[in-house]
Structure 1
Amino acid sequence: MNHDYFMLINHGAKRTGKTILNNDLFLMELRRVGRIAKKLGIANPQYILAGATLGTINKNVLIEITNKYGIEFQFDKFNRFKLFGVLVVCTGHSTIGGLAAIRGMTSFGAYINEGSLANEEVFDEIKARCSGEGARILVDTNPEHPEHWLLKDYIKNPSDSIVDFHFELDDNTFLSERYKKNIKDSTPTGMFYDRGIKGLWVSGEGVVYPDFDRDLHTITREQLQEIHLESFFVGVDWGYKHFGAIVVFGLDKDKNIYMIEEYVAQQKEIDYWVDVAKDIKARHGNILFYCDSARPEQVERFRREKIKAVNADKAVIAGIEAVATFIKQNKFYVLYDECSQFRAEIYKYLWNEKTGEPVKEFDDVLDAMRYGIYTRFKKDILRGKRRGLHE
């Protein structure tokens, strides 16, 4: 309120109110821009509202503003709306295609939601477009890896024109202590805790699943026979030169996940994997196979063979976080003695310090595991996160 910045970056942990704050600042900025434009005699001042996609702009910004203030947005055919006398141009920033909506315009400011997801070229173009008198840029973002351009080029280079505020979970005084404790207790150790709770820009160190404990998360064949599994599903990672993998999971009544079978092979044609899948189907029923979408012809072959194959959601970080959360909550168990490739991978699957993603080694069974678990539970995970935003 008391500093004429050019760029304000609110960054840090999830559920800390960064976007709520920027939504309010966005409305205040539009009113300020309207006053500036009136003095300059400009009838239609323009402003940029950018998010990863048009859908996320609607979900994260516009719906929240409507719910809070009752403001309704009327769009034209160019994804623009007018508010407080300012023409707001909406664009996605996660791909280079976002340039089309803003190229050539003069903007009196911008609001960039989920800034770390932006394509750097689109981000730079938005910045360049903000040449109207008194233009300011609002940015909010969750943290990424420590080599990310937004951290290195902006947050770590503060000046009179660029200011930033860092948020930790405990900074949100509107969340109950019970809720914050539950979130902390259920967040996986390491990178996910540092980013999600402390709001730090860090990469993982060491193994990807540090909470996996052989004493806690393994079962024997005898123990498995005492557990009633109510349903089953399968994860599939295609391979030829490297290992291909099919893994079978069972769920009990409490939605605990049991990895009960793995099939791993190199240089096998699709006929081999069809036979494996048919054997699984014969024993466990017509269950879903969540498949690596990189080989669509093999997914289609499964379907022709009456195997219920669907493309898996292959989101790397979100998928790993989902699996790691089940492990942290002691809701994941593996038939350890009978899953030899899992044993070979689980302690050797490591983070790449520079990219913030896993090293592409020792990941064949673990990729199949991620495809299956994340795709099976994605809706439940997102539903839980949405509830958390309004806790």
Structure 2
Amino acid sequence: MVISNLYTPKQIEVLKTVLRRKDWRLLINYGAVRSGKTVVDNDVFLMELRRIRKLADSLDVDEPMYILAGYSSKSLQNNVLQELTNKYGIEFKFDKHGSFKLFGVKVVQTFTGSIAGLGAIRGMTSFGAYVNEASLANEIVFNEILDRCSAPDARIICDTNPDVPTHYLKKDYIDNQDQNAGIISYHFIIDDNKFLPKEYIERKKAGTPSGMFYDRSILGLWVSGEGMVYRDFNKETMVIPHDKLPDDLTYYAGVDWGYEHKGTIVVMADDKAGNTYLIEEHTKQFEEIDYWIQIARGIQERYGSRIKFWADSARPEYVARFRREKFNCANAKKHVLSGIESVAMLMKQGHFFVVKEAIDYFLDEIYQYVWNEKTGEPQKLNDDVMDATRYAEYNQHLRVVAKPKAKPSYLR
């Protein structure tokens, strides 16, 4: 079989470098989503285990150890282990610590999302490591992984989507031009993946919000946001009169608690055509919980007693009070960038609308809702309605999708 039927030109370039260069220590494949980074890194991981077994034999090491690292157990299972099972039929047999043996190498799993990941690898001598979603790794854990890879000719593989340009992975490793460091990096864009249908790529580009999200997800660039967060918001087309609302709607609400800063409850609604509407906004400063209970009761009267309130978890006593008052209230998942991207995607696709008669502060906030270039997140100023809107939209549409037994080649 011709290798170009199995790998993209960018993946082949990576494989050639891995096989021909003997002096590399750290390989970082970074860039756009669906661009083929993890596919090639998974295969390099298997190649490395075979190399290590031969190296260990020459050193009379019975059981060489290797680190497999990822943000969480779930991300490692989805991105690495399940993919290898689907592609090659490998069945992993885990011990009580979550480690497994493959090709005569003991692979130790550790999770990089928090400092707790140190415990699994502290003190070990590793012949190498594979770090999935490396930009999400706690820096202390990442440095410990590098330190643990102290066996002869140990190598580290990383794949990642981009983050802010000041991220340690970009600043200290990708941009490190010192030849003695043994660092190789490859930049992937979505167009590098020739297995993706042209229609998929065109739709992905058209549906990805402008600015930072597009630059990272499509072009694979390490960029910070600039200017407005919601750059695709169009007041002329997205602010509509109440009489333009369709009749058959699904209602839900978002809550951002406040006192010194403004508190907000927004009511959102979805139609069957995939459009989302902000149909009520209640924003007040210096109000206690009793005030918000009265607002919520009015919302229940208008939209039904089981309407869902997605609430900021920062005030657990308020969430508990809402529940005692028999409101259908849940702690919102507060993933900032994911939530913003969810709302921004609706705007990009022309599926987000705001009822003109219903809003007080929405328009004031959306034009002041700007990126903090240092943190890569929005500035925490005049963001109460923005937060409540994000909590509602993101959590209402969050879905747990069952993973298929085998992923089609066009999704590599």
Please, which of 278, 292, 300 is the counterpart of residue 312 of structure 2? 292
The 1:317/1:389 distance shift into structure 2, 3 A limit, reads farther
CA RMSD of aligned residues (A): 1.7
* Alignment partners' CA distance in 1, 2:316 and 2:248: 31
Give the match for residue 139 of structure 1: 158
Please, which of 225, 228, 239 is the counterpart of residue 258 of structure 2? 239
TM-score of the superposition, structure 1-length normalised?
0.97
* Alignment partners' CA distance in 2, 1:126 and 1:310: 37
CA contact (8 A) 2:282 2:360 kept: no
Structure 1 SS opposite 2:397: helix
CA contact (8 A) 2:195 2:411 kept: no
Q: In the alignment, is residue 129 of structure 1 matched against residue 148 of structure 2?
A: yes
The 1:223/1:380 distance shift into structure 2, 3 A limit, reads farther
Please, which of 98, 104, 115 is the counterpart of residue 117 of structure 2? 98
Q: Map 1:8-47 onto structure 2 (within 5 A).
A: 8-47=27-66
Give the match for residue 268 of structure 1: 287
Q: In the alignment, is residue 192 of structure 1 matched against residue 213 of structure 2?
A: yes
2:157 maps to amino acid: L
Structure 2 SS opposite 1:248: strand
Give unmatched runs, 5+ long, in structure 2. 1-18
CA contact (8 A) 2:242 2:356 kept: no
Shift of 1:253: 1.4
Shift of 1:168: 0.3
Please, which of 364, 367, 390 is the counterpart of residue 370 of structure 1? 390
Please, which of 339, 363, 380 is the counterpart of residue 360 of structure 1? 380
Give the match for residue 232 of structure 2: 211
Q: In the alignment, is residue 316 of structure 1 matched against residue 316 of structure 2?
A: no
Q: In the alignment, is residue 336 of structure 1 matched against residue 344 of structure 2?
A: no
Give the match for residue 367 of structure 2: 347
Please, which of 183, 186, 189 is the counterpart of residue 165 of structure 1? 186
Size of the aligned set, in residue pairs, is 388
The 1:389/1:247 distance shift into structure 2, 3 A limit, reads farther
Structure 1 SS opposite 2:253: strand
CA contact (8 A) 1:336 1:343 kept: no
Show CA shifts across 1:180-235 (max 9, x none).
000000000000000000000001110000000011211112222xx113210000
CA contact (8 A) 1:203 1:353 kept: yes
* Alignment partners' CA distance in 2, 1:90 and 1:51: 8
Shift of 1:14: 0.4
1:300 maps to amino acid: A
CA contact (8 A) 1:158 1:164 kept: no
CA contact (8 A) 1:235 1:368 kept: yes
* Alignment partners' CA distance in 2, 1:357 and 1:138: 28
Show CA shifts across 1:114-141 (max 9, x none).
0000010110000011011111000000
* Alignment partners' CA distance in 1, 2:286 and 2:96: 52
* Alignment partners' CA distance in 1, 2:143 and 2:47: 24
Give the match for residue 21 of structure 2: 3
Shift of 1:158: 3.1
* Alignment partners' CA distance in 2, 1:259 and 1:70: 48
CA contact (8 A) 2:334 2:391 kept: yes
* Alignment partners' CA distance in 1, 2:77 and 2:341: 25
The 1:54/1:241 distance shift into structure 2, 3 A limit, reads same
> Percent identity over the alignment?
53
Give the match for residue 221 of structure 1: 242
CA contact (8 A) 2:370 2:378 kept: yes
* Alignment partners' CA distance in 1, 2:177 and 2:395: 40
* Alignment partners' CA distance in 1, 2:293 and 2:145: 50
CA contact (8 A) 1:108 1:130 kept: yes
Structure 1 SS opposite 2:389: helix
* Alignment partners' CA distance in 2, 1:390 and 1:191: 23
Q: In the alignment, is residue 176 of structure 1 matched against residue 197 of structure 2?
A: yes
Shift of 1:58: 1.0
TM-score of the superposition, structure 2-length normalised?
0.92
Give the match for residue 202 of structure 1: 223
* Alignment partners' CA distance in 2, 1:59 and 1:48: 17
Q: Map 1:30-109 onto structure 2 (within 5 A).
A: 30-109=49-128
CA contact (8 A) 2:92 2:100 kept: yes
CA contact (8 A) 1:229 1:250 kept: no
CA contact (8 A) 2:27 2:184 kept: yes
Please, which of 124, 136, 154 is the counterpart of residue 173 of structure 2? 154
